[in-house]
Amino acid sequence: MTRIPPAALFGLFFTSLYFLMAILAPWIAPYSMTEIVGDVWEPWSADHWIGTDNIGRDLLSRMIYGGRTTIFIATAATMISFTTGSILGFTAAVIGGWVDQVMSRFVDLIMSIPTLIFALVVLSVMPVTLTILILVMGLLDATRVYRLARAVAVDINVMDFVEAAKLRGEGRVWIIFREILPNALSPLVAEMGLRFIFAVLFVSTLSFLGLGVQPPNADWGGIVKENKDGIIYGIAAALVPAVAIATLAISVNLVADWVLNRTTSLKGGRG
Amino acid sequence: MSDALLKVRDLKIGARVYPPGEKPRDIDIVHGVSFDLEKGKVLGLIGESGAGKSTIGLATMAYGRGGVEITGGEVWVNGREILGTSLKDLRQLRGTEVTYVSQSAAASFNPAKKIMEQVIEASIHASKFSKKDAEARAIDLFTRLGLPDPETIGDRYPHQVSGGQLQRCMTALALCPEPDLVVFDEPTTALDVTTQIDVLMAIKKAIRDTGVAALYITHDLAVVAQVSDEIMVLRMGDMVEHGTTDQIINAPKEEYTSDLVSVRSRKHEGKPPSDNPVLTIEHVTARYKGTNFDVLHDVSMELHAGQTLAVVGESGSGKSTTARVMTGLLPAREGQIVFEDRTLSADLKGRARDDLREIQMIYQMADVAMNPRQTVGTIIGRPLEFYFGMRGAEKHKRIDELLDDIEMGAEFKDRYPAELSGGQKQRVCIARALAAKPKVIICDEVTSALDPLVAEDILKLLHNLQKREQVAYLFITHDLATVRAIADSIAVMYQGRVVRYGTKAEVLSPPFDDYTDLLLSSVPEMRLGWLEEVVEHRKMESAGN
């Protein structure tokens, strides 16, 4: 194995740090998420490492639990968008004809509506539960994945080895999963990092606007919202989740870049 | 020696390679090649791919393609050493003193500019001629190169002329600034045989008329024999042999050279067809989806067990389309395809798995015919699983046998296609086709992307496998030398029709129809003076008509 470049190491470190925090939240958080343990907006101290929030809850605990929610929602939404988007995209490319036309035009239709507005409308008429939030985000994002997957698959679908598989009489499932998918993986993996980040930003935006994760549950967007008034008094509590969102976004991207580079060099591409 | 136009001394060229998963390292592409070229002479550089021909050609302009670096030696042009001179001096040299004709004119011309503008660009840039003189010179060259409408052809855009014409325009471009040396880099390789001959003659005449010296790079010894005074044989960056054309062709000293000379001389006795063909296509007409004209008209042919039917013709004649109709990838509009005694569905989707198994296909480009993410074992093993339901040890035993059949060992099972050479890739494709135990294999230009000696081995392998398995081949090719070496029957196709069909002896003996005559006489033969003979013969024929 070749040496891991420093940028990727940085990305790997923060990505795994956040994911570990999310997974181990109940064991590492010093306090419960909802318990009021001190005064409003206490400064950093030995008891409360990064202070308390707008009603006196331990900010570190809320950050850890909030990260768990944010990362869980983003991961689940990304999984949904990738499974539906890529399978539908590959299917459209392999079948072609009117099936492809109908699906692609439908996707165009959805994409012509700004995603945030669309989500706001849907979420304001539906009850805001975790499941619905994840489904809405996943399906909206699937349109983007669909476009990429279809474009990549259309190129691969005309290669001789796919034709050879068709001549052999292989079914669509084999062609999609064994011939096309392995060759489409590296652009999709790179895209996955990007889409995960968009999901994090998206759920944070929704929570900030009050349509995402509902209090008292914490998530990073929600924590920004709760503590934003503190900024006027020079209290930095709102910046902590903002910085967390930013570092997560950057580090996941660095990891995705590195993965893309490594997989392309397998095929004799750039080193 | 002092009056030589081009002197190359101990030229060494290296490049940096980036093997996947390893550290970049430097390799030598050319190890110390020396030669002289006098004014008005043509030196042919010949060798397989990777021999360093083009790299040496470009080095005479002190140029190395991306990542390639001239690491040692001297190159003298017109008495001055050009390696290490400033870019400004090189600019004077390139495009005016030394010019270059590339393999693909279509990719080298700027599609947004008219031909004339590009032909005279270098001359004007170097202030060698005024615009008017340069244009007059270009028109003169167009005439001498035998281009139609020489006065106005320069006003056309590159896409408005044919491939052969564009290649001649490129020769005009190279000759326009009155260079001392022209490097021809495979100028006819991308052309059909029938077009190649015109371009070759035009190039030869232009070289003779202008007295320019030329380096002629090609992998085809028969072609280079027609235009060169001397030939240098290269292999993996080393000079193998250097001599006059006559000596190289008629009395090669090195074994490698004599292999190259004799590669096309393999003979094959055609067998007469049996009574019941294994696959027949009858009066097939076909067109592509979304078009309104037929690409195949009333095509009929028969394939017999253990025999080879060669389908020949130039590009666009419908050879590959015929194969697509047979396999059902392009359903025929009319006519039928009969396998043994049952009629096959025109469409691929309507055929039973066993019918699909009986007709296998081998492609021209082996590297895109295999999934780059599957190992050789998976590639060969899949038809075994798919058609015969083989699993585990049984499957692996059969894969080993098949690898043995294609003269490769079981150790290749875990390799990926990217880790194989061109010839090995094609062998794996052959094994994949054989794995299905088919009665018919369609070979679509299977040797045309390979070096001559490798292609020869593939043909031998195909021949031996046919003898053993009694499989019928439909062999699509544009190369008549290959046809002579392997075919039992021949179908000549032209513009979607079969213009001549029969056993090899029938098709290859006179009287010929016009097209077959043109096609047969266009195949370069490995002897001196062949080009002149053909052109003379054609002149007399057209005079006779």
User: Cα distance from A147 to chain B (closest Cα, Å)?
Assistant: 23
Say if CB B73 and CB B11 are below 8 A apart.
yes
Say what the ipTM of the complex is.
0.77
Chain A CB within 8 Å of residue B382 CB: yes
Using CA atoms, how far apart are residues B332 and B334, in angstroms rounded to an integer?
6
User: Cα distance from A148 to chain B (closest Cα, Å)?
Assistant: 20
In this structure, what token pair is assigned to residue B510? 């006179």
Q: What is the pLDDT, as a whole number, of residue B256?
A: 87
Terminal CA-CA length for chain A: 13
Q: What is the mean pLDDT of each run of 10 residues along chain A (271 residues)?
A: 80 92 86 79 78 83 90 94 94 92 94 90 87 92 93 91 91 92 86 89 90 83 87 84 91 86 51 30
Block residue for tokens 């036309």? A101
- How confident is the model over B68-93, as pLDDT tens digits? 888 888 898 888 888 888 888 888 88
Q: What are phi and psi of B235, to 5 degrees?
A: -150, 125
Spell out the residues 6+ positions from residue B46 whose beta carbon is closer than 8 angstroms to its own: B53, B217, B218, B219, B220, B221, B224, B231, B232, B233, B234, B260
Chain A CB within 8 Å of residue B363 CB: yes
In this structure, what token pair is assigned to residue A254? 């660095």
- Which residues of chain A make contact with B361, given a CB cutoff of 8 A? 164, 167
Decide: residue A263, CB within 10 A, 0-12 exposed, 13-18 middle, 19+ buried. middle
- Which residues of chain B make contact with A153, given a CB cutoff of 8 A? none
- Which residues of chain A make contact with B372, given a CB cutoff of 8 A? 183, 267
Using CA atoms, how far apart are residues B403 and B430, in angstroms rounded to an integer?
10
Partners of residue B279 on adjacent β-strands: B303, B339
- Is B351 within 8 Å of A169 when comparing Cβ atoms? yes
Lowest mean pLDDT among A219-223, A231-235, B135-139, B140-144: A231-235
Instruction: Please compute Rg for chain B using Cα positions.
Output: 25
Decide: residue A244, CB within 10 A, 0-12 exposed, 13-18 middle, 19+ buried. buried
CA dihedral B145, B150, B153, B158 (to 10 degrees): 10
- Whether the bond into B511 is cis, omega within 30 of 0: yes
Nearest to A106 by CA among B44, A98, A194: A98
> What is the Cα B150 distance to its own chain's centre?
29
Which one of A1, A2, A168 has the shortest CB-CB distance to B356? A168
User: Cα distance from A155 to chain B (closest Cα, Å)?
Assistant: 12
Q: What is the pLDDT, as a whole number, of residue A270?
A: 34
Which one of A163, A168, A270 has the shortest CB-CB distance to B329? A163
> What is the Cα B378 distance to its own chain's centre?
30
Using CA atoms, how far apart are residues A191 and A185, in angstroms rounded to an integer?
10
- How confident is the model over B378-396, as pLDDT tens digits? 999 999 999 999 888 999 9
- How confident is the model over B234-269, as pLDDT tens digits? 988 888 999 998 898 888 888 888 888 877 666 677
Say if CB A43 and CB A51 are below 8 A apart.
yes
User: Cα distance from A185 to chain B (closest Cα, Å)?
Assistant: 10
Query: How many contacts (CB atoms, under 8 Å) link A and B?
Result: 59
- Is A164 within 8 Å of B356 when comparing Cβ atoms? no
In this structure, what token pair is assigned to residue B208? 């003779």
Say if CB A66 and CB A18 are below 8 A apart.
no
Residue ranges of alpha helices (H) inside B211-364 are: 221-227, 245-250, 255-262, 319-327, 353-358
In this structure, what token pair is assigned to residue B73? 């030696």
- Is A170 within 8 Å of B436 when comparing Cβ atoms? no
- Which residues of chain B make contact with A166, given a CB cutoff of 8 A? 329, 348
Spell out the residues 6+ positions from residue A22 whose beta carbon is closer than 8 angstroms to its own: A64, A67, A68, A71, A72
> If DSSP codes are grouped into helix, strand and coil, which group holds residue A74?
helix
| Structure-model confidence comparison of residues B18 and B111, the more confident one | B111
- Which residues of chain A make contact with B358, given a CB cutoff of 8 A? none
- Is A164 within 8 Å of B369 when comparing Cβ atoms? yes
Chain A CB within 8 Å of residue B351 CB: yes
- Is B20 within 8 Å of A163 when comparing Cβ atoms? no
Nearest residue in B to A270, CA atom: B18
Partners of residue B43 on adjacent β-strands: B215, B230
User: Cα distance from B436 to chain A (closest Cα, Å)?
Assistant: 9
Q: What's B512's DSSP letter?
A: P
In this structure, what token pair is assigned to residue B509? 């003996």
At residue B21 the predicted structure's pLDDT band, cuts being 50, 70 and 90, is low
User: Cα distance from B372 to chain A (closest Cα, Å)?
Assistant: 8
| Structure-model confidence comparison of residues B47 and A2, the more confident one | B47
> If DSSP codes are grouped into helix, strand and coil, which group holds residue B13?
strand
CA dihedral A205, A211, A214, A218 (to 10 degrees): 0
- Is B356 within 8 Å of A267 when comparing Cβ atoms? no
Q: What is the pLDDT, as a whole number, of residue A265?
A: 47
- Is B386 within 8 Å of A164 when comparing Cβ atoms? no
Average of pLDDT values for B442-458? Answer: 87
In this structure, what token pair is assigned to residue B217? 């790079």
Q: Nearest 5 degrees, angle CA B410-CA B411-CA B416?
A: 110
Terminal CA-CA length for chain B: 50
Q: What's B48's DSSP letter?
A: S
- Which residues of chain B make contact with A267, given a CB cutoff of 8 A? 20, 372, 418
Average of pLDDT values for B465-480? Answer: 90
Spell out the residues 6+ positions from residue B157 whose beta carbon is closer than 8 angstroms to its own: B111, B112, B113, B114, B115
- Which residues of chain A make contact with B430, given a CB cutoff of 8 A? none
Which one of A168, A183, A270 has the shortest CB-CB distance to B386? A168
Say if CB B36 and CB B71 are below 8 A apart.
no
Interface test with B, best of A161, A177, A185 (most B CBs within 10 A): A161
- CB atoms inside a 10 Å sphere around CB A194: 17
Three-state secondary structure string covering A207-223: HHCCCCCCCCCCCHHHH
Q: What are phi and psi of B359, to 5 degrees?
A: -115, 110
At residue B195 the predicted structure's pLDDT band, cuts being 50, 70 and 90, is confident
Q: What are phi and psi of B197, to 5 degrees?
A: -65, -40
User: Cα distance from B53 to chain A (closest Cα, Å)?
Assistant: 24
Using CA atoms, how far apart are residues A163 and B328, in angstroms rounded to an integer?
11
> If DSSP codes are grouped into helix, strand and coil, which group holds residue A140?
helix
At residue B189 the predicted structure's pLDDT band, cuts being 50, 70 and 90, is confident
Nearest to A184 by CA among A165, A162, A209: A162
Q: What's A179's DSSP letter?
A: I
Q: Taking a contact as any Cβ pair under 8 Å apart, which residues of chain B between 200 and 239 contact chain A? A: none
- Which residues of chain B make contact with A1, given a CB cutoff of 8 A? 21
Three-state secondary structure string covering B81-140: ECCCCCHHHHHHHECCCEEEECCCHHHHCCCCCCHHHHHHHHHHHCCCCCHHHHHHHHHH
Interface test with B, best of A1, A159, A160, A177 (most B CBs within 10 A): A160
Q: What's A4's DSSP letter?
A: P
Average of pLDDT values for B272-291? Answer: 86
Q: What is the pLDDT, as a whole number, of residue B276?
A: 82
- CB atoms inside a 10 Å sphere around CB B414: 11
Chain A CB within 8 Å of residue B388 CB: no
User: Cα distance from A261 to chain B (closest Cα, Å)?
Assistant: 11
Chain A CB within 8 Å of residue B18 CB: yes
Block residue for tokens 């397989």? B48
Nearest to A165 by CA among B338, B329, B395: B329
User: Cα distance from A5 to chain B (closest Cα, Å)?
Assistant: 14
Nearest residue in A to B365, CA atom: A160
- Is B20 within 8 Å of A182 when comparing Cβ atoms? no
> What is the Cα A103 distance to its own chain's centre?
24
Instruction: Please compute Rg for chain A using Cα positions.
Output: 22
Which one of B24, B365, B436 has the shortest CB-CB distance to A160? B365
Q: What are phi and psi of B360, to 5 degrees?
A: -110, 165
User: Cα distance from A263 to chain B (closest Cα, Å)?
Assistant: 10
- CB atoms inside a 10 Å sphere around CB B375: 17
CA dihedral A248, A250, A251, A253 (to 10 degrees): 120
Q: Which helix (H) or strand (E) segment is B336 a member of?
A: strand B334-339
Residues in chain B: 545
Using CA atoms, how far apart are residues B225 and B260, in angstroms rounded to an integer?
12
What predicted TM-score, i.e. pTM, was given to this entire model?
0.81
Q: Which helix (H) or strand (E) segment is B474 a member of?
A: strand B472-477
- Which residues of chain A make contact with B18, given a CB cutoff of 8 A? 265, 270-271
Q: What's B417's DSSP letter?
A: G
Is the sign of the CA dihedral B75, B77, B81, B86 positive or negative?
negative
Q: What is the pLDDT, as a whole number, of residue B20?
A: 59
Spell out the residues 6+ positions from residue B285 whose beta carbon is closer than 8 angstroms to its own: B294, B296, B297, B298, B299, B332, B333, B334, B335
Residue ranges of alpha helices (H) inside A29-129 are: 59-95, 97-111, 115-125
Interface test with A, best of B326, B349, B373 (most A CBs within 10 A): B373
In this structure, what token pair is assigned to residue B28? 């030598």
Q: What is the pLDDT, as a whole number, of residue B273?
A: 77
- Is A2 within 8 Å of B21 when comparing Cβ atoms? yes
- Kindly provide the b/e burial profile for residues B389-406, where b requires at least 16 CB atoms within 10 angstroms of the residue's own CB: ebeeeebbebbeebbebb
- Is B353 within 8 Å of A169 when comparing Cβ atoms? yes
- Is A183 within 8 Å of B373 when comparing Cβ atoms? yes
Is the sign of the CA dihedral B208, B178, B47, B424 positive or negative?
negative
